[in-house]
Every structure is written in structure tokens, then in C-alpha cells.
Amino acid sequence: MTLTRSAEILEQHRVSGKAPIGDHIAVQPDLFLMPEYAISLIEAGLDALGGPTVSPRRILAAADHFAPPATIERAEILSRVEQIIDRYGWTGVYRRFDGICHQLLLEDERLTTGSLVVGADSHTVTAGAKGAWAAGFGSHDLLYGLVRGYMWIAAGPAVAIVIHGSFSASDVFGKDIILECFRILGANGFHRRSIEFFDHTDNGLTLDQRATICNMVVDGGAANGLFVPESYEPNSTAYEQFTRIDLGNLVPKLACPGSPFGINDVDEFVGTSITQAYLGSCNSGRLEDFAVAARIVRGRTVHPGVKAIAIPSSRSEYLKALDAGHIRDLLAAGFVIGHPSCGPCGGIDKGILGSGDICIATMNRNFQGRMGSKDASIWLANPAVVAEAAITGRISRPAAIQDQ
């Protein structure tokens, strides 16, 4: 039987001479992704087991959740983590306040098509945008891998999604593709699956769009999501399910508050008032997202009832958005620009929601309490819809977006 691309990558990284344990096979990851909070949880365990045996060449560590720290405890956790970084010789592969680790990995030349990436953060799946098998784990799974050099992983069934055609509307993006996948597959279609995307579009999806798509598969419950190389054809016998998405039919989507599976067209909720708009996160805080938001807000002013926040996903994306004038456009319109980090996503940093707040965000999670109060609500949408809502104070589709 033909292997799925995910199974093929796992097979290529299999450790010879190690028999499977149940459904689990031993694989040697190429890259270990470690955000600071996750490192802090395994300090004692790593020390007790004699420290990592894996070369720093296979590690990327980042301070991105507490970047910079907002509380005394987080400042102290970061100090401890930086002592660990020094102790294990990771200084050269540690990025402090340079952006969200998932974006830093996409920018890292060590990540290539066919890489096997394990990360101590759920959104590690983002690296599938470059064709890697990449999945999130807890800190202690990473500890095992760092000490042993390999990890035990069980492959799940795979789902093929063929994306074809070209966008017919100017306000439709990668975010709408992944939200459409949520609508089509539902929770059962994602649960522990590998989601494999075949880009058969007329113009090809950009890396930024692919990153937005792969980033969110974990929020549906998938193990990983990846873009399959162009030379591969979807073989229907290898996949549990096979779906096609025609970009020509796609309109802007919303994930309604509470669950990523509550997908509707923006058109069905036009006029819904919001109190906050957030452009950013590892899902959609890249140059293309900033470019489209800047075009929408240029020469206009943020609605007085809206707290508008924009956070580039990395220092490098920030600099590019700055050079292109996007940051100026957003600032002039009334947005607050935060430093590249996880920001309010995860309820961690500035931009937290209070009771009664209604936020529209380019993030990946709209769970109750995700951004702070459990009595706030979060809508997920593409950057154009979020930018338009920041200006009008209500959910709507922007007028046709011009290239310049």
C-alpha cells in the first residue's frame, strides 16, 4: 500500500534495531522546539537523568510566552530557564523575545520538507507548512527525546484535502480554507489524524497562507498537518477520507465563540458588535496578514468602542511590516502594536479580555476563557475581517481590497 506522506516521514526517521512497542515506533526527530515555559517544567527531570544527549544543532529554544515577562514569577521562571540554556550549551540556539517559536522555526533554515519536528507546544504543527511532520507534545515527552535522542510515536489515520482553483473574492485567505476544513471534517475527522494538504491551486498558496492552515489543525484535534510536495499525488487508498476545496466558492468564514467547529459565513453575522480586535498570534501575524490589514485601515480610524491590538509573529516579520509601512498604517489608524510574542492568546499577556468583552481575532482558539475572562467571547476570522471590524466596530466583509 502506498504510504501517506506523514507515514513516509515517520518511516524515514525510524530508529533501526528498535522493535515497536504496541502501536508506537521509535523515531529520531530532526528538531526539538522548546518554548521557555515548557523548559521550566523539566529542569529537575533533565538534571536527574544527566541532561540532554541531543546536539544543540537539533534544538530551537525561545522565550516567546513571557516576552517580556509581565509578573515577578514569570521573570523568575525566565531567569531559571536561561540558566538551563547556559548549562546545556543552548545559547546559540536560544532566541529571546525574537518572536513566537513556531514562526522562528519557519524562518529557521534547518527546517526542510520531510523534517521530523517535535515541539513542547501544541502549535508546533505550524511547521507542516514547509512539508515537515511536526507535532506538539508535553514537556516530558520532549525530555525523553532530549535524553534518549528518539521518541515513541504512534501514527494515526490520515485525511487528504485537495485545494484547487483560485480565490474569486479579495477578502478570502488561508484562514478561510482551514475554517472550511473544520466545517467539512468536524471533530471526528480531525481526532488524532494526520491532515495532508495537496496544493492544486492555480497560483499556489504562499508560505504565510500555508502556515495559517497547518497551525490550526491541532485545534481540531489532529496530530499533525502538512503540505505534501508537488510531485506527490493523493492516493485514495492510503487515506481514510478525501476532500476537495474549491477556492472559487470560498467566502470569509467565522468560528463562533466557544468552539472552532462552530463555522459560519461572515455574511450570517454581519452587524455583530465587538469590543476588541486582535491581529496576531502564531496563526496569522505574518507579513501578508499585516499587509492586508494595513490596506483596509489606511486612512481610516479605529472605532471608539474597539480596543485594536496588532502583534507581529516575529521580529523579522515586524521589521518587514515596518519597512513596508504597514505598522505605520495600523498605528495611525489607532491600533496598539505589541512586541512579537504570544501576547493575549492563551490569556497570558497584554490584551486580556474582561467579562462582557467580545473579541474578533485572527488567532486559532476561541475556547471559553482563552483570552482571560470566561465571560468574554472570541470570534475567529481572517485578517481582513478583523481589520474591518476594528474600524466599524461590527462584524462585516470589507469592501473590495485593492492591491495598493
Partner 1 sequence: MKIRGAVTWLGDDINTDVLHPSRFFSLDQLTVRDGLQGMDGPGGSVDRIIIAGRNFGYGSSRETTIQSLTLNRVRAVIATSISRIFWRNAINAGLCVVELPDPRPLNGYDELIITLPGAAISTPDGKELASGSPLDLYDLSLLESGGILPWMEKGEPLVQEPS
Compute the distance between CA of residue 166 and CA of residue 385 in angstroms, rounded to an integer.
19
Does residue 216 interact with partner 1 by CB under 8 A?
A: no
Stretch that binds partner 1, among 134-142, 239-247, 273-281, 383-391 (CB under 8 A): 134-142
188's enclosing H/E stretch is helix 174-190
Which residue's CB is nearer to partner 1, number 155 or number 177? Answer: 155
Q: How many helices (H) and strands (E) does the chain have?
A: 13, 18
Stretch that binds partner 1, among 105-113, 133-141, 177-185, 264-272 (CB under 8 A): 133-141
Which residue's CB is nearer to partner 1, number 17 or number 22? Answer: 22
Which residue's CB is nearer to partner 1, number 36 or number 176? Answer: 36
Q: Copy the grid coordinates of residue 157.
A: 489515520
| Cβ-proximal residues to 178 (8 Å cutoff; 6+ apart), any chain | 212, 213, 215, 216, 217
Does residue 140 interact with partner 1 by CB under 8 A?
A: yes
Which residues, 83 to 122, sit near partner 1 by CB under 8 A? 120-122
Shortest Å, Cβ 291 to partner 1: 30
156, 157, 165, 334: residue in contact with partner 1 (rule CB under 8 A): 156
Closest CA to 296 of 256, 245, 252: 252
Does residue 54 interact with partner 1 by CB under 8 A?
A: no
Does residue 157 interact with partner 1 by CB under 8 A?
A: no
Beta strands in 8-131 (DSSP E): 25-27, 31-35, 59-63, 94-96, 116-119
Does residue 258 interact with partner 1 by CB under 8 A?
A: yes
Residue 208, SS3 per DSSP: helix
Does residue 201 interact with partner 1 by CB under 8 A?
A: no
Which residue's CB is nearer to partner 1, number 144 or number 173? Answer: 144
Does residue 37 interact with partner 1 by CB under 8 A?
A: yes
Does residue 15 interact with partner 1 by CB under 8 A?
A: no
Does residue 333 interact with partner 1 by CB under 8 A?
A: no
68, 75, 87, 187: residue in contact with partner 1 (rule CB under 8 A): 187
219, 289, 317, 357: residue in contact with partner 1 (rule CB under 8 A): 219
Q: Copy the grid coordinates of residue 35.
A: 518554548
Which residues, 364 to 383, sit near partner 1 by CB under 8 A? 365, 367-370, 374
Which residue's CB is nearer to partner 1, number 39 or number 177? Answer: 39
> 17-23 long-range CB contacts below 8 Å, 24 or more apart?
18/150, 21/152, 22/154, 23/154, 23/155
Count Cβ neighbours within 10 Å for each residue of 8-20 and write b for 16 or more, e otherwise: bbbeebbeeeeee
Shortest Å, Cβ 225 to partner 1: 13
Shortest Å, Cβ 71 to partner 1: 9
Q: Which amino acid is at 132?
A: A
- State the residue for C-alpha cell 466558492: 249
Residue 64, SS3 per DSSP: coil
Shortest Å, Cβ 5 to partner 1: 18
Compute the distance between CA of residue 170 and CA of residue 178 in angstroms, rounded to an integer.
17
Q: By the 8 A CB rule, do 227 and 113 touch? A: no
Residues that bind partner 1 (CB under 8 A): 21-24, 37-38, 40-41, 45, 48-49, 73, 77, 120-122, 136-141, 143-144, 147, 152, 154, 156, 187-188, 191-192, 218-219, 221, 223, 258-259, 346-348, 365, 367-370, 374
